[in-house]
């Protein structure tokens, strides 16, 4: 039986995004202003699946994702269907352990994985298909500077600033939410 993957579009303070969902959870969350090109990219990524628009069925997912983009420090309990090589999935799970408002660097992640070459980690991070929820934006260069981001350095910087602001409010005892 052919797998069905539904997708829907949302808009956020950081631009339009698409969420694609399997029966197990989110398989893709990407920023894109070019809907036709993104839908073609989803068809290429999931060639064996029936790709179907699901704007109404996924309305609550789109609302939750939009909220997480606006406040990336917010907990997100949406199920994920991480699809990649075993190494990529291992890296992506490690990214999910980085607390909001904190960053790490590529070399530190490589060391945690028992590798000396941060380029392997960099490649796995670059192929992360689930923006924000798998927080690859929390990985920066060893010198503290912001390096590339699949969805643009401007978005990465904005996500980091939002997390710093949100966690600073929480640490100061202010209500948030």
What value, to the nearest 5°, has the Cα angle with vertex 58 and ends 150 and 16? 35
DSSP codes, 126-139: HT--BTTTS-GGGE
Q: Could you count the other beta carbons within 10 Å of the beta carbon of residue 119?
A: 10
Among the listed residues 26, 28, 136, 139, the single catalytic one is 136
Report whether 25 contacts 81 (CB < 8 A).
yes
Rounded Cα distance between 70 and 177, Å, is: 11
Whether 174 is catalytic is no
**Residues that are catalytic:** 136
């Amino acid at each position: 039986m052919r797998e069905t993957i539904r997708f829907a579009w949302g808009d956020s303070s950081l631009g339009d995004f698409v969420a694609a969902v399997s029966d197990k959870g989110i398989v893709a969350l990407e920023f894109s202003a070019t809907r036709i090109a993104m839908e073609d990219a989803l068809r290429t990524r999931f060639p064996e699946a029936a790709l179907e628009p699901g704007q109404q069925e996924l309305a609550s997912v789109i609302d939750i994702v939009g909220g997480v983009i606006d406040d990336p420090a917010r907990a997100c309990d949406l199920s994920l269907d991480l699809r990649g090589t075993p190494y990529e999935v291992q890296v992506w799970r490690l990214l999910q352990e980085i607390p909001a408002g904190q960053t790490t660097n590529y070399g530190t992640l490589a060391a945690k994985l028992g590798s000396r070459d941060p380029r392997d980690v960099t490649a796995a991070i670059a192929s992360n298909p689930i923006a924000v929820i798998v927080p690859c934006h929390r990985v920066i260069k060893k010198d503290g500077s912001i390096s590339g981001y699949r969805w643009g350095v401007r978005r990465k910087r904005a996500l980091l600033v939002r997390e710093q602001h949100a966690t600073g409010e929480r640490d100061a005892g202010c209500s948030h939410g």
